[in-house]
A and B are shown apart, each in its own frame.
Chain A
Amino acid sequence: MSSPSNLKRRYRADKRFKLYGIAAIAFSLCFLTFFFVDIIGKAIPAFEQAYIQVPVTYNEALKSNYNKAIPKAYRRLVSKAFLRTLPQKLEAHPELLGTTQPEWALANHRVDQFLKQHEGHGLKKKYRSKVEQLYQEDKIEFRFNANFFSRGDSKMAENAGVLAAVMGSVLVLLITILVAVPIGVMTAIYLEEFAPDNKFTQAIEVNINNLAAIPSILYGLLGLAIFINVMGVPRSSALAGGLTLALMTLPVIIISTRAALRSVPQSIRDAAYGLGASNLQVVMHHVLPLAFPGILTGSIIGLAQAMGETAPLLIVGMMAYIPEAPSSILNAATVLPAQVYTWSSESMRAFEERTAAGILVLLVVLLSLNALAVYLRKRFEVRW
């Protein structure tokens, strides 16, 4: 029997330990909250974009110099992305020649940032009162920034969007899935269920575990050496990126699949073997269905990790300026995290909010993938 004072001390130790735990959680929650508030706060302005109403004069001169279409006073306020579409518009609608129309044009990023009252907007002093006046007269208004989702990268900040990067990410991820999941799952099944346990397979196992831990940039070098230099895959292409990420994801998928296979109770295997099922039948009919949720979750987590990866893609040239969404896996492409990185090093103020918005899009995609993993695990879990 312990004395009462001893007992009290034990209770106190318990309580203290619980408090440490709560403090640790509170601490990490603070960081998380700060991170989300900061990112979301910075990203929200990016979803609104200033549009400005300008009188557009369709004349012969704009065919050679689109600046001639609008009065001088507006030329530094309107985005070139709008102006450069005018010659094509005139060509498509010749009847507009000689007319002057008031039109809503995408505003220059300086105007946009000035009205959002962001430091470093870069709008010259002489335009400021004019812009404010136009805003008062409702000649400038904020609209939902659809361009952000429907355009690729652009040197004009007001026109830059994530579409090309999203498409690039989708293509890269598809290639990674198609390559890494079948190879990884088959490797794991062979190693776990069929391979003899000898020095050779043990060496393979140790090496796979090590591969999961090496810096990801090395996979970039490996991808560059094998896929681009030897196999001649086009540089910067989604194919090169996807194959490189597949290399990186393979060990993760193999390890998680093996863990899932190992968690299937031996008694189920015994039962099937005892009934005369062959090795393959035991695996296909009993072990795989039970291990499936685990394999799925492991693969999705591995792919989510690959999706957020930047370093190996830098090496295979995927951090490029890509204004158009790639139309095939051989076209030059970029991915979301690389796009975020590119924007974060731009000097124009409008890119800062786009960087945050890009991070937000990436986070939403990754969290959805993880939520999908949790849902699928719950959905397919077999209880016994």
Chain B
Amino acid sequence: MSKAKISVSNLKLWYGNNEALHGIDVEFQAKKVTALIGPSGCGKSTLLRCLNRMNDRIVGCRVDGNVLLDGNDIYAPDVDVVELRTNVGMVFQKPNPFPKSIYENIVYAPQIHGMVDKTGMDELVETSLRKASIWDEVKDKLHEPGTALSGGQQQRLCIARTIAVKPDVILMDEPCSALDPIATAKIEELIDELKSEYTIIMVTHNMQQAARVSDHTAFFYMGDLIEFGNTSDIFTKPQQQQTEDYITGRFG
């Protein structure tokens, strides 16, 4: 296996007194797509949100263990969360463009981080939208509100917005669950293109999607990582009974 981009070791997480993750050990490979699957409440979204510390804002949430991004602990006291999140971007379940123009949606984050000057903006907007395969659809209406787009387009706009800050890792939390099959196919196609440049970790409830787009798959159950391996192995010859039951639809 190639070098791990993110390596998680013995990660435990509590919401109040409720332990949601019971010591997770997993490594995410650079420039690969890793799918996190498992029944609702198994901790896969929680783990995902640990990777860019979105859980920080949840009251009563406590984390123990190590998450190393390129060998650096992201929970170390000297880590700037703002910088971390520009390296580890996130796409959410429900498309959530800002109620501003498409253009402003893209340039917002680079602007607040001082990444580009005025002249670089147009170019940045174009490359980001192109990478998210939505440029051709919106190039004539860049100054119209992003919220006026269709759901699938909004989600690709959100991906473009994430790409605009040039992250290494993109976290996707069920990015297609609010979309129809055609929009889903486009996002999957996009994920396939993006993995040449970015490390992608996605949570999905759709087994076929995990099988189609991911290189590695991690199966979670009740806050434990049950099985992790190459997607082809997990789906064809799972080592654990629980994994087999889940992917064949016998429970969960």
Contact = CB atoms under 8 A, between A and B. Distances in A.
A268 B100 CA distance: 11
A383 B147 contact: yes
Interface in B98-136: 98-99, 108-109, 112-113
B185 interface: no
Given A273-B54, A275-B108, A276-B113, A384 B145 contact: yes
A352 B23 CA distance: 81
Interface in A260-312: 265, 267-268, 270-278, 281, 285-286, 290
Contact of B89 (A275, A277, A278, A383): A275
B83 A274 contact: no
B85 A286 contact: no
B112 A270 contact: no
Nearest to A270: B92
A242 to B, nearest CB: 36
Contacts of A278: 82
Interface in B57-112: 57, 59, 81-86, 89-92, 94, 96-99, 108-109, 112
B61 to A, nearest CB: 12
A274 B99 contact: no
A196 interface: yes
Contacts of B199: none
A137 interface: no
A197 interface: yes
Interface residues of B, number: 29
A232 to B, nearest CB: 44
Contacts of B158: 271
B161 A267 contact: no
Nearest to A276: B85
A274 B108 contact: no
Contact of A275 (B57, B83, B85): B85
Nearest to A267: B96
B165 interface: yes
A270 B161 contact: no
Contacts of B162: 274-275
A273 B85 contact: yes
A269 B163 CA distance: 18
Nearest to B105: A271
Nearest to A266: B96
Nearest to B82: A276
B147 A274 contact: no
Contacts of A196: 59
B243 interface: no
Contacts of B54: 270, 273-274
A285 B113 CA distance: 14
A276 B54 CA distance: 10
B52 interface: yes
Interface string A26-47: 0000000000000000000000
B85 A274 contact: yes
A290 B98 CA distance: 10
A384 B165 contact: no
B99 A277 contact: no
A199 to B, nearest CB: 13
Contacts of B92: 267, 270-271, 274
Interface string A72-116: 000000000000000000000000000000000000000000000
A196, A265, A270, A290 interface centre (most CB from chain B within 10 Å):
A270
B82 A271 contact: no
A273 B55 CA distance: 11
B99 A271 contact: no
Nearest to B95: A267
B73 to A, nearest CB: 18
A19 interface: no
Contacts of A273: 54, 57, 85
B109 A276 contact: yes
Given A383-B147, A384-B145, A276 B86 contact: yes
A272 B57 CA distance: 13
B161 to A, nearest CB: 7
A384 B151 CA distance: 12
Contact of B98 (A197, A286, A383): A286
A268 B161 CA distance: 13
A285 B94 CA distance: 21
Nearest to B91: A274
A276 B166 CA distance: 12
A361 B89 CA distance: 58
A267 B147 CA distance: 13
B81, B109, B145 interface centre (most CB from chain A within 10 Å):
B109
Nearest to A265: B96
B99 A276 contact: no
A376 B230 CA distance: 57
Contacts of A382: 99
B198 to A, nearest CB: 15
Contacts of A277: 82, 109, 112
Contacts of B59: 196-197
B99 A290 contact: yes
B85, B94, B98, B108 interface centre (most CB from chain A within 10 Å):
B98
A270 B98 CA distance: 11
Contacts of B98: 268, 271-272, 286
B165 A275 contact: yes
B82 A383 contact: no
27 contacts: A197-B59, A265-B96, A267-B94, A267-B96, A268-B99, A270-B90, A270-B92, A270-B96, A271-B92, A271-B98, A273-B85, A274-B85, A274-B90, A274-B92, A275-B108, A275-B109, A275-B161, A275-B162, A275-B165, A276-B82, A276-B85, A281-B112, A285-B108, A286-B98, A383-B99, A384-B97, A384-B147
